[in-house]
Amino acid sequence: MRNKVLSIVISMTVALFSLSISSISAQAGARDFFKCKLTEGVKQADMEKLAADFMAVIRKEGMKGYQTELLWPLYSQDISRGTFYWSTSSPSAAKSAGLEEFWGDSEANKDVRERFGKIAQCESGSVYTVSDIK
């Protein structure tokens, strides 16, 4: 009887641990990366202004937990001048998908989206879940 009770307690502990791990994974942040290239004559400062304007729209719309970063290579063998990565962090994978929809469909973001199309083109994109190691 004692072994049966111990077995049930261990099984419940494993089940609860598994549930807690799966809920942590479901809440993991997400980050997307888009490899882009500036249009000829466009400066890094122009794209930085556009990214700042995008974040202002995000804040105005009350969207929380997002961050945008631009990665400018100091050195790379496989990319040409003017290439950069646009990266956006989201609180979860689901919110990352919502941000992509907001970028493409929102009237609030129309000006930024249209300006982006004039100053840069992206050739690829990837979305990752983030494991935050401290």
Show me where the domains of the chain are located: 28-130
Q: What mean pLDDT value characterizes the chain?
A: 81
Question: Residue 3 has what pLDDT?
Answer: 42
pLDDT level of residue 27 (50, 70, 90 thresholds): low
Work out the number of other CB atoms within 10 angstroms of the CB of residue 71.
11
pLDDT level of residue 13 (50, 70, 90 thresholds): very low
**Quick one: how many helices (H) and strands (E) in the chain?**
4, 4
Tell me the residue ranges of DSSP E strands in 91-131.
120-130
- Relative to beta strand 67-71, strand 120-130 is unpaired
Question: Residue 34 has what pLDDT?
Answer: 95
Tell me the residue ranges of DSSP E strands in 1-134.
29-38, 67-71, 83-90, 120-130
Q: Does domain 28-130 have CATH number 1.20.1250.20?
A: no
